[in-house]
Chain A
Amino acid sequence: KAGVTQTPRYLIKTRGQQVTLSCSPISGHRSVSWYQQTPGQGLQFLFEYFSETQRNKGNFPGRFSGRQFSNSRSEMNVSTLELGDSALYLCASSFNRNTGELFFGEGSRLTVL
């Protein structure tokens, strides 16, 4: 069974640009969550999608957005990039909501110059 697949794995952007990250969950998993990991702040919840609807949102500015498609694949977008957005962005899938039992992808490492 394939795991959670995230693309791209690495990317470099400059301030002011925007970026789109993609996540394919484990087959059969309907919940997709996004987390940001930085050395200073650790792992922080961004948002969760289930059945193409955002179910929960973390404390991040509106520049961070996402969506989920009918096949459960998800994308997140960050607009007007800032230096502080440099981080590892992790996607996690789960069979259902309210489990907390997440399967993480390998992440997309974003560097903002």
Chain B
Amino acid sequence: QKEVEQNSGPLSVPEGAIASLNCTYSDRVSQSFFWYRQYSGKSPELIMSIYSNGDKEDGRFTAQLNKASQYVSLLIRDSQPSDSATYLCAVSRAGNMLTFGGGTRLMVKP
């Protein structure tokens, strides 16, 4: 079992819809959770971080964390073609040592 699991996709949604990306992790000691976005041929960039159970909203993005279920999700509202990218879930027990999932490729169709 991988430490951080994501559906590789592609997840295809129409423009304007809500994209829902999911991630599960196995290390119960994990303290910090992140979503990074990686465009093709580019390096990852941080879009959301979440540290406690519940929802955290930032613009069109909402991260959700459920430590009991070891589950993290990212919702993208009003999806745009420019959101098409690979979304990487990452968890950390401590420090800046992140464990990344394999990523979910999102395609937003006009």
Contacts and interface: CB of A to CB of B under 8 A. Distances in A.
B81 to A, nearest CB: 23
B98 A45 contact: yes
B97 A102 contact: no
A90 B101 contact: no
A81 interface: no
Given A104-B45, A105-B43, A107-B43, A92 B102 contact: no
Interface stretch (B11-19, B54-62, B86-94): B86-94
B43 A104 contact: yes
B9 interface: no
Interface residues of B, number: 21
A14 interface: no
B80 interface: no
A46 B74 CA distance: 26
A4 to B, nearest CB: 8
Given A43-B88, A48-B95, A103 B103 contact: no
A100 B43 contact: no
B92 A100 contact: yes
A35 B95 CA distance: 14
B97 A45 contact: yes
B25 interface: no
B82 interface: no
Majority DSSP secondary structure for residues of A touching B: strand
B97 A101 contact: no
Contacts of A97: 95-96
Contacts of A35: 100
A84 to B, nearest CB: 18
B9 to A, nearest CB: 14
Contacts of A68: none
Interface of A: 31, 33, 35, 42-45, 48, 55-56, 58, 90, 92, 94, 97-107
Interface of B: 32, 34, 42-46, 49, 88, 90, 92, 94-103
Given A42-B101, A103-B45, A105-B43, 6 more contacts: A35-B100, A48-B97, A55-B95, A98-B94, A100-B32, A101-B49
